[in-house]
Structure 1
């Protein structure tokens, strides 16, 4: 089952063999043995591609569950104080994951030599069960689900520009003033080109800024703002270094909408493998401090 899981996740017998420290023929035989035993083809194989059949997709979910339960049973038999062992998978938004989650994960692996991990940085909501992830960092309101969520903080949505730009073009004092400024919009935060503002006397006001550029990367939007090309709206962590250095200034703070909650979500809750629970506890403590520092800028 471990061989089958590795092939399904890597879409390669050779890569699966490298992951498991086995020879490619042994991995091929392991998968063929499963298929022969159950009498069903689990993988479509070509010279260029390996992909799951419909039966293979269903079987993969069961294999992941069974292997996790076996590993948890072994950990329980070893005792509650045994060092966490085994592998787990984490996903997070690209920029936040690169800046904040990856360093936390590396420190966790340093502290637990028997654990390995896979980190996937994706700017979309990942279905943990269907896609085989154990933990996800989510900056969003959470829908009701079977997932267990640990809140680690909140994140502001802020409008910003450089002091030099504001000295030359003036600083907007109310939402209507945005019409006088060019704006770089980031696609993940765009809702039909509208910004929701929530200030005194104008709760839930929707403003349509004059977009000179629309991008799907906050990095590009921040670069454009730093170059004096106008205003942009991003999540506060995405400009934290620039705010500390005074290279960008937050605007219209009185009109910011409510901050977005930030959670670590996981499958299984307290029944999750010890390594997953240990990572969530470790990451939650670190991320709470980080997010509190960003909120205080």
Structure 2
């Protein structure tokens, strides 16, 4: 059986979670997909899936091979686009991921413009506050905030954001504004769950442990922002998350001299995808968006 076809079958089974679903996606039949996977496993000399009557799951070897299989198919698709002269006209699916609030505020407007301008383009976007495995999950471009780990991925810096403390005018009228970092210990603090630890905040002078822990801990940025606007305490959020509330006067920035160094904002993608029309247009549009939004 054709090697590339068996790779497509393997990626489809892994992505769809079953042989029947993969067959529907490929316009094939379950027996054909089963034969294709068996041929691929025989060629590789290892099992790629654990099979049961209810589910199909990748083996360790299958999970390791999946990223390479997706890379091979992506490289082939890119080469075919170039040969067909499709470089100027984006089409097909663009897979994106970004932090939830950043994606809503800054990526969705770019996506909306691209979809309006290019009728043959589709976008699938995962807004989530964790780092998605780009190769393994088939992502074309990921937005990352903060220092980057060394990798073979291409990184394009589009701007930076800052950590800021903020509280509502009503809260500050009731409790007063802290003049020094040490005075935070006497205030109601709003913490968040997720990548940024709730038990310590970083400032120019170093990390400051929240002892006792924040009185209110929330699992989303939007909820923490709403709580701060409602006067429930002092929140520690990023500048792009606070921008609208600060501009409207619903929140007031505190201790600006204690803001730590800015966090870079990058777009990450595989080098092989840099020339794809949709990726090139998205990167250029995000650069323009970051300049317009004042992401310093």
Runs of 4+ with >4 A deviation = 12-20, 189-192, 269-272
**1:112-168 CA distance string (max 9 Å, x none):** 333333212222222222332221100111122211111111111111111011111
Matched residue, 1:250: 253
Counterpart position of 2:4: none
Corresponding residue SS for 2:157: strand
2:105 paired with 1:102: no
Whole-Å separation in 2 of the counterparts to 1:129 and 1:209: 40
Cα distance in 2 between the residues matched to 1:144 and 1:62: 19
Shift of 1:180: 1.9
Change (3 A) 1:209 1:252: farther
C-alpha distance in 2 between matches for 1:278 and 1:62 = 26
Q: How far apart, in 1, do the equivalents of 2:243 and 2:267 lie?
A: 21
| Aligned CA-pair RMSD | 2.6
Matched, 1:32 2:2: no
Summarize deviations over 1:22-48 as a string: whole Å, max 9, x none: 3xxx25244223223233654444454
1:272 positional shift = 5.0
Q: Secondary structure in 2 aligned to 1:171?
A: coil
Identify the range of structure 1 (206-215 vs 219-228) with the bigger mean alpha-carbon deviation.
206-215
Structure 1 residue 186 corresponds to structure 2 residue 192: yes
Please say if residues 70 and 135 of structure 2, whose CA atoms lie closer than 8 Å, have aligned partners that are also in contact.
no
Counterparts of 2:160 and 2:195, CA distance in 1: 16
TM-score, normalisation: structure 2: 0.84
CA contact (8 A) 1:17 1:27 kept: yes
Question: Contact conserved, 1:197 with 1:205, CA < 8 A, in 2?
Answer: yes
Show structure 1 runs of 5+ residues with no match. none
Length-normalised TM-score, structure 1: 0.84
Unaligned segments of structure 2, at least 5 residues: 1-6
The structure 2 residue matched to 1:146, chosen from 129, 145, 152, is 152
CA-to-partner distance for each residue in 1:79-126, whole Å, 9 max, x for gaps?
265412333321111222233223322322332333333212222222
